[in-house]
Amino acid sequence: MSQSTIDLGQLEVMFPEDVYADVRFEQTVDHRITLRDGSLEDVLSRVETGALLRVLKDGRWYYASTTDLARIDEQLAELATSDALSPGEPIDMGSLLQMHVEDARIFQDAPVDGVAVADKLALMRRYTSRMERPDVLNWAGHWMDQRRERRFISSLGGDVRHDYQEAGVSVRFSIANGDETLQEMFARAEHRYLELESKTEQYLTELDEHLDKCARFVADAEAVDAGEYPVVLSPQVAGVFAHESFGHKSEADFMLGDPAMLEDWKIGTRIGPDMLSIVDDGAQLGSGWAPFDDEGQRSHKTYLIKDGLLTGRLHAAHTASALGEECTGNARAISFRFEPIVRMTTTWIEPGELSEEDLFGGVKDGFYIESCKHGSGMSTFTIAPSLAWRIKDGKVTEPARIAVITGTVFETMGEIDGLSDTIERPFLLGGGCGKFEQWPLSVGFGGPYVRIRRMSVA
Amino acid sequence: MIREIITASSESTKLGVTDSQIASVRTQVEQETAVRVYAGGHAGVASAVGSADVDMLTERARAGLGFQIAYPAQPSADRKSEVSHMGRARSVGELVELTTGVIETLRENFPQYVFGHGLEQSRVGWRIHNDLGLDLSYERMTTQVAFLVKEKGSGSIFDTFVGTEGLDLDAASLIERFSAHLRAFGTPLGPPPSGKQRVVFPGLEGHAGGGLMQLIRSDMLARVVGTKASVFQSQLGTGEQVFSSSLSIQDSRDANRWRIAPFDMEGVVRSAPDHSLVHEGVLGTAVASKRDAVRYGVPATGSGVGELAQLPVTGIGKLVVQPTAERLVDLLDGQPALMPWFVAGGDCTRAGDLGMPCQVLLRVEADGTVSGRYTGCTLSGSIYDALGSDFVGVSEQRLDADSEESFLVTHMSVSS
């Protein structure tokens, strides 16, 4: 099943004169294995090699995505002669971008595509063997690994290479008790195959515990009376909250052309309580790993909120230019098919000072949201819980069937009244963030346990 | 060994709109080729993006047979067809002219909003052919326009959206439709009436109407039914009236009515293009790919879906609810109603309980026009009620002249 790959370092580009231009080469190698209800369903192996070309001319961008790498110079020349758009505000890329020449690849020592499919299948079967229990009606196990390398070259002299890889297992299953069913999943992933393999026993124990918990949930979960309650979010759900409720609002492209919003979002504006800090950092290992962005800028830790105050926002070159701020290393694209836009990397809420026991102990009658199917963060923030539990007198008790929890984003931020003192950032297998037409982008998120005084529960 | 070759090609030109003006042009050209081989009840597949050496792919697919992936069905055979839905192809200059005409007018008439995203003209095509005389191809060219609309100073990443997809979009018509929405959106009405209200869903796609159909999409699949995990398990095959007798839902592959391919990813052309999922309120049969049909002992329904690089799985394509009235106004009974235009983060539980947080909720007048925007609210109810005793009907009238979506009218509970 081997397929040919090429050395992106050997590719050369002739840039047109008098315009800013860059090329992002990309090569991804994917393997996916699907086991369904005990049968091997599919083995997929795919190599994609392509490039996204950009030319900035008279303040307007001209892009082309291609898999024909032999025609890069020709296509760049065509883009440079385009005049389809009327001129816009000039963008001085030379003053916005820092030129890096660096090979930042870190996964060459153990490429996941070098592991035999048979070994991956055998490891995966260890997880799916746990589905052989009478209350699991059906299941689908997925092995996914991806190795991705990008090389960014610009007419200003930038030349950076970096890589990303992940390998993991996810199992989706339906578990039943009588007529009641629950559809849930379990996933674990690491950057390296050997890391994943070495943690197998630990992860299998976690899978067994998860299945038992789901069985209890489906047997005992009761619908809740809709209303407002105190809510504790798990680190995973807190991460969804940080990403969806606030992170997207920190992406500066949403502020273009809106001076009123810029005024409302002035740096220093109070957003939440003193205990609240939210950070984005592409240099954090995990599913949001992006040491350089797709404009060749080095990622770094950007505080979006620090001590409850608005501290920063995320930029690509064109938004930094428009708003007179600095690039933050957040220009990202899901693949060579698309131009980079402002995106998050790994976003999390920083820890507070409460022990978990004290955090839950502060809730007399509320809910603990352990996992969620999805979340969104427009003016109203919404989470669709999967596993949720009642909290009574500070103790997590019986399972609760909740369709959605909602709250106005800024009111909810203001209602945070407790953060636990440790954080978790789960590795998200296969990415997960969507924006406009670009989905899924590999991102990470997480946080501590977060206690919110009141949210609408239905 | 039987060999099957599937190719997909696409070409697109997108004009990116930022801050209410065209800021970029992007062209994409891509070709993907997949080879499937079948032998001894097993299948192997290999694919490549870009230029492809079919012989090399065949060898890789043949090597994949070693995994012994069960494929107990026969590949499709002896059928040839070419279907296309080709809209107008504009040059980049013409696309710029179209987009500029729309965006400049909207910017001038609605200066309180910032418009983003853009317009894309795309041609997609795929072909599936094999050693058994199968040769099916489909091609479509459409233009899609979508503007994310942000109210200046709102604090939201965007506040509403307008858009459509069609074979030949017309600037004047787009301006008229988008302006009607923006006028309604810009007319605040305060909180919506509470309690059970008449609700107009603008189509079955997206977060609003999609929520209504969530369990139909997930639990009318052969595998779910075959493993007795469907929420409809106890009602399937009983003839029980589960939903309103006015409700009929089909999974359609009717290329004469819709801009869709008449075949699935296993090369199956249905003898009747519509598969009945619900007929006059009674559940029909689950959909099944050929492989799942054998595995779960149910009839194959031509419902293989998936990427080229994978072996097809069972899935539902275009969901269509049979119209019960010609016009939206015929379903309003002379009364105003609510239209959830933008629902974010809603969900439907396994028990069928719906929760739909509405970010944009419009008032629909008795004549079918939208007139204002209520403050956000949550719509809730059970799908068994919303598609049952509370169901009013579906219009033949589409959302707009280019749309393939109809209005679905029912009742749901409103809480602010």
Q: Convert the pLDDT of each residue in A402-432 to its tens digit.
A: 888 988 888 899 999 999 999 999 999 987 8
This model of the complex carries an ipTM of: 0.93
pLDDT band at A11 (very low <50, low <70, confident <90, very high): very high
User: Which residues of chain B have a CB within 8 Å of the CB of A37?
Assistant: 223, 227
Going by their DSSP bridges, the two strands A60-66 and B21-39 should be labelled as parallel
- Asked if A401 lies within 8 A of B96 by C-beta distance, the reply is no
Lowest mean pLDDT among A88-102, A144-158, A261-275: A261-275
User: Which residues of chain B have a CB within 8 Å of the CB of A46?
Assistant: 47-49, 309
For residue A114, give the amino acid letter: G
Name the B residues in 174-203 with CB < 8 Å from any A CB.
none
Q: Is the pLDDT of residue A1 over 50?
A: no
Helix axes B92-109, B171-185, angle to 10 degrees: 30
User: Which residues of chain A have a CB within 8 Å of the CB of B351?
Assistant: 223, 401
Cα(B54)–Cα(B300) distance, integer angstroms = 29
Residue B192 CB neighbours (<10 A): 22
Going by their DSSP bridges, the two strands A416-419 and B188-190 should be labelled as unpaired
Cα(B121)–Cα(B124) distance, integer angstroms = 10
Cα(A348)–Cα(A74) distance, integer angstroms = 43
- Which of A399, A412, A414, A447 is closest to A214 using CA atoms? A399
| Structural domains of chain A, ranges and CATH numbers in brackets | 8-220 (3.30.2290.10), 227-457 (no CATH)
**B25, B234, B289, B314: which to substitute to probe chain A, counting the most A Cβ within 10 Å?**
B25
- Which of B359, B52, B89 is closest to A406 using CA atoms? B359
- Report the gap between the CA of A378 and the closest CA in chain B (Å): 6
pLDDT band at A377 (very low <50, low <70, confident <90, very high): confident
CA atoms within 13 A on the CB side of A330: 32
| pTM for the predicted model, two decimal places | 0.94
For chain B, the straight-line distance linking the first and the last C-alpha, in angstroms and rounded, comes to 62
Domain B2-185, classified CATH 3.30.2290.10, yes or no: yes
- Report the gap between the CA of A40 and the closest CA in chain B (Å): 6
- At a CB cut-off of 8 Å and minimum separation 6, what does A2 contact? none
Name the B residues in 223-262 with CB < 8 Å from any A CB.
223-224, 227-229, 231, 233-234
Could you tell me if B377 and B191 are in contact, meaning their C-beta atoms sit under 8 angstroms apart? yes
Going by their DSSP bridges, the two strands A180-190 and A159-177 should be labelled as antiparallel
Mean pLDDT of A208-228: 95
Tell me the longest C-alpha to C-alpha distance in chain A: 71
- Asked if B24 lies within 8 A of A63 by C-beta distance, the reply is yes
- Is the Cβ of A383 closer than 8 Å to some Cβ of chain B? yes
- Which of B310, B290, B254, B276 is closest to B134 using CA atoms? B290
Residue B352 CB neighbours (<10 A): 18
For residue A74, give the amino acid letter: E
Residue A267: what are its φ and ψ, rounded to 5°?
A: -55, 135
Could you tell me if B356 and B375 are in contact, meaning their C-beta atoms sit under 8 angstroms apart? no
Residue B282 CB neighbours (<10 A): 19
Tokens of A249: 């609002």
Specify the pLDDT at position A157: 97
Could you tell me if A389 and A219 are in contact, meaning their C-beta atoms sit under 8 angstroms apart? no
- What stretches in chain B show pLDDT beneath 50? none
Residue B360 CB neighbours (<10 A): 23
Mean pLDDT of A278-282: 98
Specify the pLDDT at position A3: 54
- Report the gap between the CA of B326 and the closest CA in chain A (Å): 34
Specify the pLDDT at position B155: 78
- Selecting from A47, A85, A265 the residue whose C-beta is nearest the C-beta of B22 gives A85
Name the DSSP letter for residue B221: B
Cα(B336)–Cα(B365) distance, integer angstroms = 4
Place of tokens 């919003």: A261
As beta bridge partners, residue A47 has: A29
Q: Convert the pLDDT of each residue in B65-113 to its tens digit.
A: 999 999 999 999 999 999 999 999 999 999 999 999 999 999 999 999 9
Distances (CA, A) of A189 to A17, A114, A143, A165: 45, 17, 10, 10
Specify the pLDDT at position A363: 98
Cα(A285)–Cα(B208) distance, integer angstroms = 37
Name the A residues in 318-337 with CB < 8 Å from any B CB.
318, 322, 337
- Asked if B16 lies within 8 A of A138 by C-beta distance, the reply is no
- Which of A324, A321, A340, A320 is closest to A332 using CA atoms? A340
**B156, B234, B314, B374: which to substitute to probe chain A, counting the most A Cβ within 10 Å?**
B156
Domain boundaries, chain B: 2-185, 189-235+242-259+317-416
Buried b (16+ CB within 10 A) or exposed e, B370-379: bebbbebbbb
Residue B108 CB neighbours (<10 A): 9
- Is the Cβ of B106 closer than 8 Å to some Cβ of chain A? no
- Is the Cβ of A434 closer than 8 Å to some Cβ of chain B? no
